[in-house]
C-alpha cells in the first residue's frame, strides 16, 4: 500500500511548520544572544528539538495514530497562534510582526487544510490500514529472520 501524494505534501508542510516553530530554540542556544537566565541545559535544546522534530515527522510519515493526533493538535494550536498574531497586527501599527497579513492568511489556510485532511474519517481508515500492513510486514520479516536463524543453528548442531 502506498502513501497518498497529498499526504506527503501534508508531511512536508508539517516539517516546515515544526522548523519554523522550533527555530527560536536554536537561536536561544547561541552563546552571543543567550539571555542572562540561560540554564545549564540551554546548549542541549537544539539537539533535543531536532530529535523531537525527527521523531514527530517519522511517526507521521509512518501514519501512526498518536503522531497523526499530535500533528492535528499542532496545526490547530499553530492556527490559533497565527490568528491571534493577525489580530494584533491589524489592531495597531505599533506591533511589528514578521509577516504581512497575506502571509498569515496563507499559513492559516494551509494549517487548517492539513488538520482537516489528517482528521478526515477516510484518511484515518486508510492510515490505520497502512500502519497495520506496515507492522504486519515488519513482523513477518522479523519472523523470517528468526526462522532462518533457527534453521542455521539446527544445521550447525547436526554437522558437529
- How confident is the model over 123-141, as pLDDT tens digits? 999 988 888 888 888 778 7
Of 106 and 36, the one with more pLDDT? 106
Q: For residue 137, is it within any domain?
A: no
Query: Is 114 domain-assigned?
Result: yes
Domain count, the chain: 1
The CA R_g of the chain, rounded to the nearest whole Å, is 23
Confidence of residue 120 (pLDDT cuts 50, 70, 90): very high
Determine, yes or no, domain membership for 105. Answer: yes
Q: What does pTM read for this prediction?
A: 0.73
- Domain annotation covers residue 103: yes
Q: What is the spatial distance between Cα 10 and Cα 24, in angstroms, rounded to a whole number?
A: 23
Between 91 and 53, the higher pLDDT residue: 53
- Whether the predicted pLDDT of 104 surpasses 70: yes
Q: Is residue 156 part of a domain?
A: no
Q: Which residues contact 142 (CB under 8 A, 6 or more apart)?
A: none
Query: Alpha-carbon distance 28 to 24, whole Å?
Result: 6
User: Domain range holding 32?
Assistant: 5-120
Q: Is pLDDT of 58 > 80?
A: yes
143 within some domain: no
Amino acid at each position: 500500500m502506498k502513501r497518498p501524494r497529498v499526504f506527503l505534501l501534508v508531511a512536508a508542510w508539517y516539517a516546515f511548520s515544526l522548523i519554523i516553530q522550533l527555530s527560536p530554540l536554536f537561536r536561544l542556544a547561541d552563546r552571543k544572544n543567550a539571555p542572562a537566565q540561560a540554564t545549564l541545559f540551554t546548549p542541549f535544546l537544539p539537539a533535543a528539538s531536532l530529535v523531537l522534530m525527527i521523531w514527530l515527522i517519522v511517526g507521521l510519515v509512518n501514519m501512526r495514530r498518536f503522531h497523526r493526533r499530535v500533528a492535528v493538535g499542532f496545526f490547530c494550536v499553530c492556527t490559533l497562534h497565527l490568528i491571534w498574531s493577525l489580530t494584533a497586527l491589524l489592531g495597531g501599527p505599533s506591533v511589528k510582526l514578521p509577516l504581512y497579513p497575506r502571509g498569515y492568511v496563507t499559513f492559516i489556510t494551509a494549517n487548517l487544510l492539513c488538520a482537516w485532511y489528517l482528521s478526515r474519517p477516510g484518511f484515518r481508515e486508510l492510515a490505520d490500514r497502512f500502519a497495520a500492513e506496515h507492522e504486519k510486514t515488519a513482523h513477518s520479516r522479523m519472523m523470517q529472520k528468526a526462522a532462518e536463524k533457527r534453521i542455521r543453528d539446527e544445521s550447525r548442531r547436526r554437522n558437529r
